[in-house]
Structure 1
Amino acid sequence: MMKIVGASQLSFYPVHKNRNAQTITPFFNRFGSDVFVDSSLATVKNLSASSSIVSPGRTLLLDEQQQLILPDSIRRQRQKVLQAITKEVSQAVRQGKKPVFMTDFDGTLAPFQTNPYTCQVPKTEREKFFSFADAVHKKFGVPVVVITGRTVSRMKDFIGEEGIRRAQVIINGQSGGEMALPDRKQMYSMPDVTSVHKAQMDQLKQALKEIGLKTVEEVEGASKEPGPFPGVSVEDEKRYCVVVHTKSARTKNVAEAAERAVQKAMKKLNMKDFYLLNIEGGMEAIPKPYNKGNGVKAVLDIVRKKYGLTNSQLHPIYIGDGINDNKAYEQIAKIFNHPQDSYTTIFTGKPTRQTKAKYTIPNALHTGDVPAKSKAEEKYRVAVSQVNVDANFELMERLRQKIGVAWN
């Protein structure tokens, strides 16, 4: 049986176990003009265990390994972009530049999860990442960097503190709020957040609690009393920002009501030194000094000082999957803008004019396009997100081959 998840309800349509691809194609075409599968489905040999999700005008198909099946046109475009990126970086290396590889975490190194505390890099991919980072450091003497809105302590849990030290990985967390070098003794907290900022963040968390917004743990454990914002949760472990997740909101109206409630609370608390950032499946109240652009700047400052390098000796590479990565793209372009091929910035996801990256590795959908109101639907969001993660690891493999670094 093939499962079809509708825009508002789960429906089940029988598909014969041994039905071939040609007879299934018209079946999908009944549910939307924009079908994200090959027109012939020639690459799919057995659809008996496959699943699809249907929303207005779109059909998403997973194969038996729960992987998103992309149209041929998108796959060809992805390969073309990856080839162009690899060529640009390898040319910089031939000119004597040192590649500084920087990557986002959620949706780029690890697929999104409904519960933000359960996000993990699978063991195989984690070892590939650390091997890549270790090899880059040994050959070029520069670190690989993770730049994320997560806390440094949470990142150490997700990807492993031992690997971070072994592979000389720098973690820049909380949108530039803190940074950890591979040596555990070297931890930097950015100085721009004052006691006033921290007090206002605590007041905002309390205000959101009073209007009925629940923490991630409370939402995960909720059964009969979802509150006035069912599915919406507050992530309250960060010191420098307040995150409200709406990706699992029961309806679009609930998500929009939660956003209005956050805006109203911030206005009431006179939080003029904060901005509300739209992130994948939610929003984040952040002190104005902090963004991923300032995180990139802080990382590059450390790289220059710690390794005795100048900008002319570096070729920064940054890969992200969200609009909140734009500040990072812009900062890199500002620092390394003569000539334009002196840096490589990459967006992975459905092409959008909003991105400031030089390159887009395309996906068929935004992760946020896929509902995740239930555990049953979460796998579809994970599958869309996994496409972006796969692009990141394919890029690492291509760079490994082109610039001559070997897996350990």
Structure 2
Amino acid sequence: MVATFIDPNRHRAVLFDLDGVLTDTARLHATAWKRVFDRYLAERPSNPAEDHGPFTDADYRHHVDGKSRVDGVLDFLRARGIWLPRGDATDAPGAETAHGLGALKDEQFAAAVDEEGVEAFPDAVRLVESLHRGGIATAVVSASRNCARVLARAGLADAFDVRVDGVVAAELGLPGKPDPALLLEAARRLGAEPSRSVVVEDAEAGIAAARAGGFALVLGVARTGAPSALVEAGADVVVPSLAEVVVAASGQRRLSEVPDGLEHWDTVAARVRGRRPVLLLDFDGTLAPIQEDPAKVSLSVSTRTALQDLARHCPVGVISGRDLRDVRSKVRLEGVWCAGSHGFELAGPGGEPIAQRAGEAALPDLDAAEQCLSAQVAGVAGALVDRKRFSLAVHYRNVRPEEVDHVITTAQQVGAQLPGLRVAHGRKVVELLPDIDWNKGRALRWLLEQAGLTDPGLVPVYAGDDYTDEDALQEVHDEGLGVVVLSPEHGDRLTWAHVSVAGTGPLIELLSRLAGRPR
């Protein structure tokens, strides 16, 4: 997994949500809300215009999570066709107003905290400590009125420079998320501009608030759920754990900040500095356009001809998530190295395949995952389980939007149950891979070593389009050239690339100029 950087040179403050990000209390909130809403809906007189079905996890994520308790009540009930008066803060717990139901939920949540206790996530604690060592200010920002109580029970009472919670919001009359007011107030108290601050959130409402507030980096945390909703809400990066976040200066920047390689040829020339290029290329989305059916992806005649010409003048390799046999059958070029399954298999021009032995230990788990996932998503129209030797890809490009989260969550759960595997996310695909320290960056380095292409007179050039290509782009960042092929599906995410191109055609033109073969 590519590390996400919080850079002390760019970021002055980090604002954390509480429940689900710092502490394990999101489940307590969800349970308390379910008890209140299920009882209220069950006791409400039947009405064909109203939906009295049980409160679900999806209801919690879309209507309640991250919002003030009153707004959460109103938003959820309106979604069920029910309009309640807002009431006021003096309403008794259980009164038929938004304040009354919210107060009842707070009573149940507080009791659960006292009975079950609170635990801070270890990865969150380590990140906060690392931020303090790096001189970066921190704040906790929560809609909860129980924020101070939860922090104290978790041992985090003194861990943050600023706390802006539901109590502060009520005192100042600040609207809750998805309005950015709470986040902006926390940044103001820290003396940090939003454009120099990071927000860490696990709720759609919180992500939307951070995006609306103009924060420098909006970091989503999907510890258990699917990341797609956070991406759609506006997250720059979504991680399954804060262990993936590193406090260090980085060379990453947004896609919109990466200069076009053809328009800024001087940038490219400076990186190459007269050395002979070694061209290492992703396949799907880079050399060939993405297709709804992965089996139909193929090189165009013009791209194949250009690559063959390039291979006569400089080393060329293709590194793909596809099986090695599949990659070689689609490339079909003389003199080209091919790496399949994200580099777990490698073959030189006309040579025998070389497999990473460490990956072979995961084959039984991949077999089990294939059998399990094929059965579990068999009824989902458009879902495609694509088994490769060293990976298992679950494509959801053709799945109906309302079923995408189910497919992603199912793949994540299967991966979590098999100790030999890890989960990776790409463009409209979830992949299960051997859980070893291996990625496209290491595959790139291995290819260079196996091919004898590590001479100082050579410069590695990598081009890719997807999240999974960032490991390889990071690998060449210091000594080579990274090129990102832009795609509207990836929004304005962070990348390690030095330059960008607008598609396969411009990429081939750039590579041809690098190899001294202008087109």
Q: Place the TM-score, normalised by the shorter chain, in its bin.
A: 0.5 to 0.7
Give the drift of 1:128.
Answer: 1.2
Q: Which of the numbers 277, 280, 304 marks the counterpart of 1:99? A: 277
Are the structure 2 counterparts of residues 285 and 119 from structure 1 closer, same or farther at C-alpha, using a change threshold of 3 Å?
same
CA distance in 2, matches of 1:121, 1:207: 33
The normalised TM-score by structure 2 is 0.47
Q: Which amino acid aligns with 1:344?
A: L
Q: Which of the numbers 448, 457, 476 marks the counterpart of 1:300? A: 448
Q: Which of the numbers 287, 290, 294 marks the counterpart of 2:434? A: 287
Give the drift of 1:90.
Answer: 3.8
CA distance in 2, matches of 1:79, 1:328: 19
Judge conservation of contact 2:278–2:458 (CA < 8 Å) in 1.
yes
Instruction: Give the SS at the match of 1:126.
Output: helix
CA distance in 2, matches of 1:299, 1:357: 20
Q: Which of the numbers 473, 476, 492 marks the counterpart of 1:332? A: 476
Give the drift of 1:92.
Answer: 5.8
Instruction: Give the SS at the match of 1:317.
Output: strand
CA distance in 2, matches of 1:319, 1:185: 24
Are the structure 2 counterparts of residues 78 and 200 from structure 1 closer, same or farther at C-alpha, using a change threshold of 3 Å?
closer
Partner of 2:153: none
Are the structure 2 counterparts of residues 94 and 277 from structure 1 closer, same or farther at C-alpha, using a change threshold of 3 Å?
closer
CA distance in 1, matches of 2:268, 2:258: 17
Give the drift of 1:89.
Answer: 4.5
Q: Which amino acid aligns with 2:331?
A: I
Judge conservation of contact 2:509–2:518 (CA < 8 Å) in 1.
no
- Aligned residue runs from structure 1 range 233-248, under 5 A: 233-236=384-387, 238-248=388-398
Judge conservation of contact 2:268–2:499 (CA < 8 Å) in 1.
no
- 1:156-200 Cα offsets, whole Å, 9 max, x none, are 22122xx2x3xx211111101101100x233211111133x1111
Partner of 2:186: none
Q: Which amino acid aligns with 1:200?
A: D
Partner of 1:260: 409
**Structure exhibiting the larger radius of gyration computed from Cα positions:** 2
- 1:115-169 Cα offsets, whole Å, 9 max, x none, are 1111110122211111112122xxxxxx111111111211222122xx2x3xx21
Partner of 2:330: 158
Give the drift of 1:329.
Answer: 1.4
Give the drift of 1:205.
Answer: 0.8
- Aligned residue runs from structure 1 range 309-348, under 5 A: 309-310=454-455, 312-333=456-477, 337=478, 342-348=479-485
Instruction: Give the SS at the match of 1:106.
Output: coil
Is the aligned partner of 1:359 residue 2:503?
no
Instruction: Give the SS at the match of 2:461.
Output: strand
Instruction: Give the SS at the match of 1:231.
Output: coil
Give the drift of 1:99.
Answer: 0.9
Partner of 2:71: none
Q: Percent identity between the aligned chains?
A: 24
Judge conservation of contact 2:261–2:268 (CA < 8 Å) in 1.
no
The structure, 1 or 2, with the larger RCO (C-alpha pairs under 8 Å, 6+ apart) is: 1
Judge conservation of contact 1:235–1:245 (CA < 8 Å) in 2.
yes
Judge conservation of contact 2:415–2:423 (CA < 8 Å) in 1.
no
Count of residue pairs the alignment pairs up: 261
Instruction: Give the SS at the match of 2:397.
Output: coil
Judge conservation of contact 2:277–2:514 (CA < 8 Å) in 1.
no
Are the structure 2 counterparts of residues 395 and 210 from structure 1 closer, same or farther at C-alpha, using a change threshold of 3 Å?
same
Instruction: Give the SS at the match of 1:150.
Output: coil
CA distance in 1, matches of 2:445, 2:356: 12
Partner of 2:287: 109
Is the aligned partner of 1:191 residue 2:357?
yes
Partner of 1:175: 342
Are the structure 2 counterparts of residues 405 and 173 from structure 1 closer, same or farther at C-alpha, using a change threshold of 3 Å?
same
Q: Which amino acid aligns with 1:356?
A: W
The normalised TM-score by structure 1 is 0.59
Instruction: Give the SS at the match of 1:175.
Output: helix
Q: Which amino acid aligns with 2:496?
A: K
Partner of 1:82: 262
Are the structure 2 counterparts of residues 258 and 314 from structure 1 closer, same or farther at C-alpha, using a change threshold of 3 Å?
same
Is the aligned partner of 1:271 residue 2:386?
no
Judge conservation of contact 2:363–2:389 (CA < 8 Å) in 1.
yes
Q: Which amino acid aligns with 1:185?
A: G
* Two-structure CA RMSD over aligned residues (Å): 2.5
Judge conservation of contact 2:258–2:498 (CA < 8 Å) in 1.
no
- 1:309-342 Cα offsets, whole Å, 9 max, x none, are 53x3221111110111111112223xxx3xxxx4
Judge conservation of contact 1:178–1:190 (CA < 8 Å) in 2.
yes
- 1:14-43 Cα offsets, whole Å, 9 max, x none, are xxxxxxxxxxxxxxxxxxxxxxxxxxxxxx
Instruction: Give the SS at the match of 1:259.
Output: helix
Judge conservation of contact 1:152–1:179 (CA < 8 Å) in 2.
yes
Q: Which amino acid aligns with 1:355?
A: T
Partner of 2:366: 201
Judge conservation of contact 1:145–1:170 (CA < 8 Å) in 2.
yes
Is the aligned partner of 1:232 residue 2:383?
yes
Give the drift of 1:80.
Answer: 4.6
Judge conservation of contact 2:366–2:421 (CA < 8 Å) in 1.
no
Give the drift of 1:346.
Answer: 1.4
Q: Which amino acid aligns with 2:481?
A: T
Give the drift of 1:347.
Answer: 1.2
CA distance in 1, matches of 2:518, 2:498: 27
CA distance in 2, matches of 1:294, 1:79: 26
Are the structure 2 counterparts of residues 264 and 398 from structure 1 closer, same or farther at C-alpha, using a change threshold of 3 Å?
same
